[in-house]
Amino acid sequence: MPILDIKDLKKGYADPEGVRSLVVDVPAFSVDAGQQVALRGSSGCGKTTFLNLVAGILQADSGVITIDGEILTGRSESVRDKLRARHMGYVFQTFNLLQGYTALENVLLGMMFGKGADTERAKALLERVGLAERMHYRPRALSVGQQQRVAVARALANHPKLVLADEPTGNLDHHHADTALRLIREICSENGAALLLVSHDPKILDQFDTHFDFADINRRVRESAQ
Amino acid sequence: MGGIFLLVRRSLRQHAFSTVATVVAVALSAGLVMSVFSIQYQARRAFTGGDVGFDAVLGARGSQLQLVLNAVFHLETSPGNIPWSLYQAIKSEPMVKLAIPYATGDNYYGFRIVGTTGELFTDFEYEKGKKLQVAPGGRFFDDTHREAVLGSFVAQKLGTKIGDVVHPYHGLVFDEASKHNEEYVVTGILEPTNTPMDRVVWIPIEGIYRMQGHVLRGTGEVYEAQAGQSIPDENKEVSAVMIKFRNPTAGFTFDQTINRQGKVATLAYPIGKVMLELFEKVGWVNRVFELVAYLVVLVSTAAILASIYNTINERRREFAILRALGARRRTVLTAIILESTAIAFIGSLVGYLFYAAILTGAAIAVRQATGVVLDVFAWHPVLLLTPIGMSLLGAFAGLAPAYKAYSTDVAQNLTPQS
């Protein structure tokens, strides 16, 4: 059974003149439980919008997104927030750690709006990503690679069934990017979470057994290219 | 809910400077409001409702208020004197339980000297069941000697001890040049009564009559007391007679006969009502103080609003991240309202310190000026209502910034804004 199932998903935006143009047009897409899928696409092709739709941050114009059997689309914002908090983790390109909070608190915040804070699990995750000694540091006191590891721990904090990663290595050098990607994949596997990663970097995609070009699944990108 | 409290705590810490500044502003306004109402209440109660030990004051024809201020609070000048015979007449009335004469006109370093009789110490109760007591080692004065008993505040302020000598100065205002020749030996220091009596130097009434330069006009003719000769009663005068009635109806009877039918003297009765008239006359001053206090509260509420509202723009990304982590809109809304409420509540708690400081300062000033003691720890509903009211206003002040945070677009604010 797919953890993520998408049917006829459409999302468009109106330009300043009021002309509405489609950004996402995905007839069908799915990710199985525990599966790791990578999507490649050039900048501005709608990858982030697609992930935000999957996360329920954006409301689709039409279509159906199902997360672990629960329909996300058409639901109120509050319900979508709840589903996101319970079922999903999100790793951002810019990490999006909260600067006023320690590494441990950042991870705890990843739990608080879902199943509730579990300090032991948060500590265990930080130990797992190699930050046992730095869990009480604030993000500014951590290196870029360490910040990304905190972001990974936070994304996994709430036992998510699906982890969304938007250019998670975009801000890292080649060496750190490889390490971070390996870590994300390992931790998702260890926690039984599916991973949907988007990136513009072909080297990253090559490491995934299942990877698509965003144009393959997004009709709108395909049509633009033709 | 734990998440919300963490957000509130961290936000207050992250914006520590503006938090502290706003807390201080709120604390000042809370302290001011509590002080204004508490001082008003305590002053009103002390001057109008407090037990002064006497029911009425008999004095020269004129203002009842001046009479009370002069004889009870030892503040104003005396409206004049009445003959000794009037004192004797009222004292002999069956409905009068106690009548004690006061004679004034001199001071000791600004503290009023009051000539009276020993009954003040033996029969008078300044509160039910409480008579004046001298501190250990002292005694009350002997009516026939040049002896003085000092109120506790006078002794404390001037550092006067038993056995010290008191030189009276003529008039109610201290003037180095108007020193009398007479000397009075301090025989006792009164235990504190927390009444205006603490600010008085008590001497035998004959002392006032025999003070160098003093003349008596009890008969209408000028009479100067001579050493070694007794003073005929018809020449004696008193500034006031302090009266305690056997029952409340007696006061109304004397009010009728002395104030409405008589033309010689004035009876200030009841004392509390006379003072109440004063408070009602100056009631607008209280209203002004209240208005200023309310305005300060409004300003501090606006300060809360401004301090939080100004941080919202820089925190939009934080809200977007929290929302991406699953925080609902109402979580963000609640966190901001709780934050502004917390600032107001903490400010109110700190406000108790300002309240204590203001009230202590006011208590010192009021005690020095009037002898009336304000109690910093006295209960008044404003002490409870202020933190509640300030917290509600804080919550109200948080509504606009909370709505701004509530409206944050998650997708737009997730990426850093350069």
- Judge whether residue A29 has pLDDT over 90: yes
Candidate from A77, A94, A112 with C-beta closest to B3: A112
Cα torsion B120, B126, B130, B134: sign = negative
Q: Which residues of B touch A96 (CB under 8 A)?
A: 317, 321, 324, 414
Which residues of A fall within a CB distance of 8 Å from B329? 77-78, 81
A86 touches chain B (CB under 8 A): yes
**CB proximity B330 to A under 8 Å:** yes
Contact A113 B318 (CB under 8 A): no
| 3-state class (DSSP) for residue B383 | helix
Report helix, strand or coil for B237.
strand
Helix H or strand E segment including B90: helix B84-91
Verify that B127 and B154 share a domain, yes or no.
yes
Q: In terms of DSSP bridges, do strands A194-199 and A162-166 run parallel, antiparallel, or are they unpaired?
A: parallel
Q: Are residues B146 and B67 in the same domain?
A: yes
> Is residue B412 very low, low, confident or very high in pLDDT (cuts 50, 70, 90)?
confident
Q: How many CB atoms lie within 10 A of CB A18?
A: 6
Structure token pair of residue A143: 């290196």
| Nearest residue of chain B to residue A52 (CA atoms) | B411
**Higher-confidence position of B288 and B282:** B288
Asked whether residue A226 carries a pLDDT value surpassing 60, the answer given is no
A144 in contact with B, Cβ within 8 Å = no
Cβ of residue A98 closer than 8 Å to a chain B Cβ? yes
State whether residue A85 sits within 8 Å of chain B by CB. Answer: yes
Alpha carbons B79 and B83: distance in angstroms, whole number? 13
Q: Which residues of A touch B321 (CB under 8 A)?
A: 96, 98
What pLDDT does B418 receive?
Answer: 45
Sign of CA dihedral B407, B409, B415, B418: negative
Mean of pLDDT values over B8-18: 89
Among A208-222, B52-66, B226-240, B345-359, which stretch is predicted with the lowest mean pLDDT?
A208-222
- What is the Cα–Cα distance from B339 to B142, expressed in whole angstroms? 68
The DSSP secondary structure of B300-345, one letter per residue, reads HHHHHHHHHHHHHGGGHHHHHHHHHTT--HHHHHHHHHHHHHHHHH
Q: Which residues of chain A make contact with B311, given a CB cutoff of 8 A? A: none
A123-132, B49-58, B296-305, B345-354: least confident range? B49-58
Q: In whole angstroms, what is the distance from residue B54 CA to residue B187 CA?
A: 25
Residues of B in contact with A92 (CB under 8 A): 324, 414
CA-based nearest residue to B311, from A100, A92, A58, A95: A100
Instruction: Give contacts of A82 with chain B, Cβ < 8 Å.
Output: 326, 328
Segment B148-200, tens digit of pLDDT = 999 999 999 999 999 999 999 999 889 999 999 899 999 999 999 888 899 99
* Residue to substitute from B17, B325, B333, B409, interface A, most A β-carbons within 10 A: B325
> Tokens representing A62?
């039409």
B250 contact partners, CB below 8 Å, separation of at least 6: B93, B95, B96
3-class DSSP state of B132: coil
Hey, are the CB atoms on B14 and A90 less than 8 Å from each other? no
pLDDT, tens digit, for every residue of B120-145? 999 999 988 899 999 999 999 999 99
Which of A52, A57, A162 to mutate to test binding with chain B, by most B CBs within 10 Å of its CB?
Answer: A57
8 Å CB contact of A82 and B326:
yes
CB contact under 8 A, A109 and B318: no
Give yes or no for a contact between B145 and B204, defined as CB atoms under 8 angstroms apart.
yes
Residues B248 and B121 in one domain: yes
Average pLDDT value over all residues in chain B:
90
> Is B158 found in the same domain as B252?
yes
Instruction: Locate the domains of chain A by residue range.
Output: 2-225
Beta bridge partners of B243: B56, B99
CB–CB contact A100 B10 (8 Å): yes
Interface check for B5 against chain A (CB to CB < 8 A): the answer is: no
Instruction: Find the residue in B nearest to A105 (Cα).
Output: B6
Q: pLDDT-based confidence at A66, cuts 50/70/90?
A: very high
Would you place residue A153 in the very low, low, confident or very high pLDDT band (cuts 50, 70, 90)?
A: very high
Q: What is the pLDDT of residues B204-236, one digit of tens each?
A: 999 999 998 888 988 888 888 888 888 999 999
Q: Distances in Å between the alpha carbon of B194 and those of B54, B197, B364, B374? A: 15, 8, 12, 9
pLDDT at B239: 95
- The residues, ordered by sequence, that sit 6+ positions from B139 with a Cβ below 8 Å of its Cβ are B187, B188
**Domain annotation covers residue B276:** no
Higher per-residue pLDDT: B49 or A118: A118
CB-based contact B351:B26 (threshold 8 Å): yes
Give domain status of residue B10, yes or no: yes
What is the chain A residue with the closest CA to B318?
A98
Any domain includes B99: yes
User: Are B127 and B107 in the same domain?
Assistant: yes
Q: Assess B410–A contact: CB distance below 8 Å, yes or no.
A: yes
Beta-carbon contacts of B194 under 8 Å, excluding residues fewer than 6 positions away, are B372, B373
Shortest Cα distance, chain B CAs vs residue A182, angstroms: 23
A15: number of Cβ within 10 Å: 9
Contact, B400 vs B64, CB < 8 A?
no
Q: How far is Cα of residue B160 from the mean position of the Cα atoms in its chain?
A: 25
Task: State which residue of chain A sits closest to B416, comparing Cα positions.
Answer: A94
User: What H or E segment, with its residue span, contains residue B265?
Assistant: strand B265-268
Using the 3D structure, point to which of B237, B269, B301 is the last residue of a domain: B269
Helix/strand/coil for B74? coil
Predicted confidence at residue B95, as pLDDT, reads 93
Do the Cβ atoms of B390 and B347 come closer than 8 Å?
yes
Average pLDDT, stretch B19-25?
94
Asked if A109 reaches chain B (Cβ–Cβ under 8 Å), the answer is: yes
With residue B292 as reference, give the H or E element that holds it: helix B283-312
Provide the token pair at A156.
Answer: 């996994």
Indicate whether B37 and B72 sit together in one domain. Answer: no
d(CA B28, CA B348): 8
CB B106 within 8 A of CB B178: no
Domain of residue B202 covers 56-269
Residue B418 contacts A, CB cutoff 8 Å: no
Q: Is the pLDDT of residue B2 over 90?
A: no
Nearest CA of chain A to the CA of B339: how many Å? 15
Residue range B357-384: mean pLDDT, rounded: 89
Which of A85, A98, A108 is nearest residue B321 as measured by Cβ atoms? A98
Q: Is residue B418 in some structural domain?
A: no
A80 vs A201: which has the higher pLDDT: A80
Look at the domain A2-225 and name its fold: Rossmann fold (3.40.50)
pLDDT of B241 > 90? The answer is: yes
**Is the confidence at residue B44, as pLDDT, over 70?**
yes
Q: What is the rounded average pLDDT of the residues A127-153?
A: 92
Write a three-state SS string for chain A. Answer: CEEEEEEEEEEEEECCCCCEEEEEEEEEEEEECCCEEEEECCCCCCHHHHHHHHHCCCCCCEEEEEECCEECCCCCHHHHHHHHHHHEEEECCCCCCCCCCCHHHHHHHHHHCCCCCCHHHHHHHHHHCCCHHHCCCCHHHCCHHHHHHHHHHHHHCCCCCEEEEECCCCCCCHHHHHHHHHHHHHHHHHHCCEEEEEECCHHHHCCCCEEEEHHHHCHHHHHHHC
Residues 149-168 of A with CB under 8 A from B: 154, 158
Q: Does B16 touch chain A (CB under 8 A)?
A: no
> How much is the pLDDT for B417?
53
Question: Of B212, B243, B269, which one is at a domain's C-terminal end?
Answer: B269
**Is B267:B55 a contact under the CB 8 Å cutoff?**
no
Tokens representing residue B407 in the block: 């409206």
Average pLDDT over residues B341-362: 96
Q: What is the dihedral of CA B4, B9, B13, B17, to 10 degrees?
A: 90
Max intra-chain CA distance, chain B: 105
Domain boundary among B269, B304, B329: B269
* DSSP character at residue B160: -
- Across the interface, of A81, A108, A117, the residue whose CB is closest to B323 is A81
The structural domain count of chain B equals 2
Q: Read off the pLDDT of each residue in A155-173 and give the average, rounded to a whole number.
A: 88
On the question of pLDDT at B373 being above 70, the answer is yes
Both B40 and B139 in one domain: the answer is: no
Name residue, tokens 């951590």: A142
Name which of B194, B168, B187, B192 is nearest B52 in CA terms: B194
Q: Looking at the structure, do residues B121 and B164 belong to the same domain, yes or no?
A: yes
Considering only alpha carbons, which residue of chain B is nearest residue A49? B411
Residue B196, both tokens? 């205006």
Single-letter amino acid, residue A51: L
Pairwise pLDDT comparison (B240 vs B53), residue with the higher score: B240
Specify whether the CB–CB gap between B394 and B340 falls below 8 A.
yes
Q: What is the ipTM of this complex?
A: 0.87
The 10s digit of each residue's pLDDT in A69-112 is: 999 999 998 899 989 998 999 998 888 999 889 999 999 998 98
Who among B317, B331, B410 is closest to A113 (CB)?
B331
Question: Residue B251's CB: how many other CB atoms inside 10 A?
Answer: 18
Is there a contact between A86 and B326 if contact means CB atoms under 8 Å apart? yes
What is the C-alpha to C-alpha distance for residues A199 and B307, in angstroms, rounded to an integer?
40
pLDDT tens profile B48-69: 766 678 999 999 998 999 999 9
**Is B318 in CB contact (< 8 Å) with chain A?**
yes
Cβ–Cβ below 8 Å for A55 and B324: yes
The residue whose two tokens read 């699953």 is B326
Residue B182 resides in a domain: yes
